[in-house]
Amino acid sequence: MELETLLSLLLFSAPLVWFLFLATKKQSKFQKTPSSTAIPKTYPIIGSVFSIYANFHRRVHWISDILQTIPSSTFILHRSFGSRQVFTANPAVVQHILKTNFPCYRKGLTLKRSVGDFLGDGIFSADGETWKFQRQISSHEFNTKSLRKFVETVVEVELNDRLLPILSEASKNQTVLLDFQDILQRFTFDSICRIAFGFDPEYLHSSLPKTMFVKAFDDSSLISSVRFNAAIPLIWKVKKILNIGIERRLKEAVAEVRGLATRIVREKKKELKEKATLESVDLLSRFLSSGHSDESFVVDIVISFILAGKDTTSAALTWFFWLLSKHSHVENEILKEITGKSEIVSYDEVKDMVYTHASLCESMRLYPPVPVDTKEAAYNDVLPDGTFVKKGWRVAYHIYAMGRSEKIWGLDWAEFRPERWLSQDEDGKWSFIGMDPYSYAVFQAGPRVCLGKEMAFLQMKRVVAGIMRQFRVVPAMDKGVEPEYIAHLTSLMKGGFSVRIEKRSHKDQ
């Protein structure tokens, strides 16, 4: 019966897929990088597939440009076979999605089918009771005691024993170029594994080893993103059935990722069984001690937390150091704040780095680690701006577009200006002014607000303090050349971030 179903699917879909492939190929000859920000044309059955295909390589920027031209900051994209996706950069709509009508907007089946092979039932793709359980257990890992331990042990050791020595060695020879994005990803990968699982992958070793796991993890993220954003999802589904092309690579990559994640889980199980009490309780120990014996489910949790800890924080820091290299007044203000702290910045001192905190917020406004977040409507709804949403439609709030919205940030939205987050008293002391979370949704908001927000800020500020006290990160690119912002499940600097490391002199401080 399964063979008959497969043959029927192929006979039905092959001519249609071939027609659409030829059509999109023909269209791409004329529309590689369209400059128009008009709402894309829609055709029967295939929707706006031509425009989606032509703009796939710059989809984040394309949708952002369209949203900036629409008074309501909301529009509906027609996908193939009657599917619809609502995009918005309207804070009132974002609040409706994330809080007011939270029960309606779930992760949904489309996301589940697209990323399920990679993330399984982990917290990023889970809904309902599965999501609530993971969030409840995870919340214990983000109390003050755990955060202090994270900063004063894991981050401190990773910074002083691994990251700074690598930068010091690079600073001795100015012909040496480092991919700073890669270095930061290694740092955050080691850090999340150590704090969440009690496992040290030693990825930030001085030899900068290449590992099959990280390559497989990055490929899994990329291909899952391609699936989710596909102009014609039917194509990847057929490829999956036939086990060809990138779907074959995804299967291999996921097997590699789940292999290491399974080893981490089994070693932790063994440790829990052999020891009456653990010296420290990490996130993985909490899940395994909660009574869940389904190994596959716990592996899903491990993979999701690696994604959260490795890719988002490193992306934020990559763009931060690039922006810093272009704005000396911001660099000087942060240096002033850092040199006023102890040489080994304590947990309390890290929390008090107000100007640095504002600078990171401003950097993530322009270059958010996650540019778009998508939900799926569980039932019919009407958004605050009057847009009708049908059950099953995808609804996405566009974080990248919101950070570039003149309506939200004013005429100077394009400026990197940390002061927009601050007030200064008569003595020159800075105070942080928070932004409405539905206008600045970098960490989501409402019931699904990011649990790791404070941990991420503490880690980033400690890294900034440790690096900037000793070194200057200098981009190794031609003058006037700006790196390209791209996104899979999280954002990246295309091609990496090539830099030289300069030792900072005492007079700089």
Q: What is the pLDDT of residues 356-368, one digit of tens each?
A: 999 999 999 999 9
Count of CB atoms within 10 A of residue 9's CB? 14
- pLDDT 10s digits, 375-391: 999 999 999 999 999 99
Q: Report the C-alpha gap between 389 and 382 in whole angstroms.
A: 6
Rg over alpha carbons for the chain, rounded to the nearest Å, is 23
- The mean predicted confidence, pLDDT, of the chain is 89
Q: Is 211 helix (H, G, I), strand (E, B) or coil?
A: coil
Bigger pLDDT: 195 or 399?
Answer: 399
Count of CB atoms within 10 A of residue 284's CB? 25
In CATH, what class is 2-508?
Answer: mainly alpha
Which residues does residue 87 pair with via DSSP β-bridges, in sequence order?
75, 396
Q: Token pair of 283, please?
A: 């996130």
CA distances from 64 to 190, 350, 402 (A): 34, 34, 8
Q: What is the pLDDT of residue 5?
A: 40
Amino acid symbol at 354? V
Best CA proximity match to 187, nearest among 454, 371, 457, 459: 459
361 labelled binding-site residue = no
Amino acid symbol at 142? F
Best CA proximity match to 37, nearest among 9, 70, 11: 70
Amino acid symbol at 435? M
- What percent of the chain shows pLDDT beyond 90? 73
CA distances from 286 to 133, 147, 197, 290 (A): 12, 16, 10, 6
Count Cβ neighbours within 10 Å for each residue of 427-466 and write b for 16 or more, e otherwise: eeebeeeeeebbbbbbbbbbebebbbeebbbbbbbbbbbb
Q: Report the C-alpha gap between 471 and 167 in whole angstroms.
A: 8
- pLDDT 10s digits, 135-152: 998 888 788 888 888 888
Q: What is the pLDDT of residue 29?
A: 40
| Domain ranges within the chain, ordered by starting residue | 2-508
